[in-house]
Structure 1
Amino acid sequence: MKWVSSIVLSAVIAVSAGSAQAGLADEQDINQRLLVVAAADKIRRACDGIGARLFKARSYINQTKDLAADRGYSDADIDAYINDKAEKAKMRERRNAYFKSKGASNLDAQSLCVLGQAEMSQGTQIGQLLRAK
């Protein structure tokens, strides 16, 4: 009987996590914030002359997690969502589409560096997470 309870509990947890994941996928402002982080991170990694404003980036990420928590998502829900392979692929597609809309390519470091410089000079949210080295 004890193992039945474990199976039922595991199924409930899995369904709850799936529901939370589906809910997070619909949170447009949270996903926009995640896109900002993804874009800034890719630019930072591609460009030797651009680094991250680590304190500011950590604060931005924590604010995003707080926003999700205020809407009822647990840390486990958030972690499951951002670590899900399918969601990561969707975010890469959104990030790459953003780069393309700005005349850059995720496969061209130079174009990402130009974009990063523009983001910083314009003071965009992405630019605020970056710094010139």
Structure 2
Amino acid sequence: MRKVMIALISLSMLATPVAAKPPLRDVAAVDDALLYLGLADRIRNECPDISARMFRALGYLNDIQKTAKSLGYSDDEIDAYRKSDAEKARMKSRGAAYLKANGVDTSDPQSYCALGRAEIQKSSRIGSLLRAK
């Protein structure tokens, strides 16, 4: 009887569904962090008066990966998300919306500078990745 109970308990544990992880795009701690990193990179590339805090940016990137791994995502899942053309396009669209909402005229490098300086001034996540020259 004891062996039967152990077998039934074991089977019930196997039959318990494993909670599915949401797509990484739905994990704000990862998706938003990558957006901020991308925006900081865009600002520093477009504005001649602002540069990147490269060591801080690399550390931030490592933190994003650690966060995803701590949530149970594998390196393959992280790479698939990071390299996905659909996700890149979605992130580019989110970035464009952020820039537009914050007054950036993509034909005017000084508007990127104004946003970059504002982000640095308010010590936002984006601003923490940038440095005024």
Question: After TM superposition, is the score higher than 0.5?
Answer: yes
SS in 2 for 1:51: strand
CA distance in 2, matches of 1:126, 1:94: 14
Deviation at 1:107, TM superposition (A): 4.0
Q: Which residue of 1 aligns with 2:37?
A: 37
Show CA shifts across 1:14-47 (max 9, x none): xxxxx97x61121122111011001000001101
SS in 2 for 1:104: coil
Alpha-carbon RMSD: 1.6
SS in 1 for 2:72: coil
Answer 1 or 2: which has greater helix percent: 1
CA distance in 1, matches of 2:122, 2:41: 18
Deviation at 1:72, TM superposition (A): 1.0
**Gaps (5+ residues) in structure 1?**
1-18
- The 10-residue stretch of structure 1 (83-92 or 73-82) with the greater mean CA deviation from structure 2: 73-82
- Give the % identical residues: 44
Q: Which residue of 2 aligns with 1:129?
A: 129
Show CA shifts across 1:71-126 (max 9, x none): 11112211211111110010010011111111113443221111001111111110
Shift >6 Å, 4+ stretches: none
**Gaps (5+ residues) in structure 2?**
1-19
CA distance in 2, matches of 1:53, 1:36: 13
- The 10-residue stretch of structure 1 (22-31 or 94-103) with the greater mean CA deviation from structure 2: 22-31
CA distance in 1, matches of 2:107, 2:78: 29
CA contact (8 A) 1:50 1:113 kept: yes
CA distance in 1, matches of 2:103, 2:42: 15
CA distance in 1, matches of 2:65, 2:88: 17
CA distance in 1, matches of 2:84, 2:106: 21
Q: Which residue of 2 aligns with 1:47?
A: 47
Number of matched pairs: 114
Larger Rg: 2
